[in-house]
């Protein structure tokens, strides 16, 4: 049987806006992925633990508060510490263009800002997750 691709959609930090995360989660569901949603206000440690327990291929981080430069790398560090080296990580939210190179340098595979077509996100996962 072909393994299903599993995606963790996570909300790190304190912002309480998850409409974007939910829209992306649904689009990924419709693309045939199994999507686990963390719910709001999770710490990087919690997110890494969930990624471990759920054996996900991908972690998608959603953040709209402006704390992405701190929290996204913190999640990456926590994933590494947990021993999850192969997980593909992407981010999304209201993120200024000029922050994107820094985030990519820190382990984010892609950053999707408002207006990104959902298909772009689906394609990113399809192209970056290695079958196992």
Partner 1 sequence: MKSLAEQVLKSDLHSISRALSTVENRKEGYLDLLDDLYKKGKPSRVIGVTGAPGVGKSTLVDVYINELVARKKKVAVIAVDPSSPFSGGAILGDRIRMKSNYDNVFIRSVATRGAIGGVSDSVFNMIVIFRAAGYEYIIIETVGVGQNEISISRLSDITLLIMSPGSGDDIQMMKAGIMETGDIFVINKSDYPGADEFETFLRSSFTDINNKIIKTSAKNGQGVKELVTLVDSIYEAENDKIKKKGKAILKEGLKYLLLHEMSQKVDEVINHASLSLDDIINGSKSPYSEMKRLLKGGFLKW
Backbone angles phi, psi at 79, to 5 degrees: -60, -45
Other beta carbons within 10 angstroms of residue 52's beta carbon come to 15
Please, what is the Cα angle at 87 between 81 and 89, to 5 degrees?
100
Q: What's the min distance (Å) between Cβ of 19 and partner 1?
A: 15
Question: Shortest gap between Cβ of 132 and partner 1 (angstroms)?
Answer: 8
**Residues forming a β-bridge with 89:** 59
Integer Cα distance of 120 and 56 in angstroms: 20
Whichever of 25 and 61 has its CB closer to partner 1, that residue is 25
- Nearer Cβ to partner 1, position 43 or 128? 43
Closest CB to partner 1 among 75 and 103? Answer: 75
Contact residues for partner 1, defined by CB under 8 A:
1-4, 25-26, 28-39, 45-46, 49-50, 52-55, 83
Rounded least distance, CB 74 to partner 1, Å: 16
d(CA 103, CA 16): 22
User: Smallest distance from the beta carbon of 8 to partner 1, in angstroms?
Assistant: 9
The smaller minimum CB distance to partner 1, of residues 46 and 99, is found at 46
User: Phi and psi of 13, rounded to 5°?
Assistant: 80, -160
């Amino acid at each position: 049987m072909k393994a299903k691709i599993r995606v963790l959609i996570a909300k790190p930090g304190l912002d309480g806006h998850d409409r974007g995360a939910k829209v992306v989660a649904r689009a990924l569901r419709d693309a045939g992925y199994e999507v686990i949603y963390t719910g709001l206000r999770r710490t990087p440690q919690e997110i890494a633990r969930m990624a471990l327990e759920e054996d996900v291929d991908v972690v998608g981080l959603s953040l709209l508060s402006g704390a992405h430069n701190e929290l996204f790398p913190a999640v990456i560090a926590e994933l590494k510490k947990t021993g999850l080296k192969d997980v593909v990580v992407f981010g999304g939210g209201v993120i200024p263009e000029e922050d994107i190179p820094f985030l990519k340098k820190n382990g984010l595979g892609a950053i999707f800002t408002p207006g990104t077509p959902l298909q772009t996100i689906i394609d990113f996962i399809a192209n970056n997750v290695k079958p196992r």
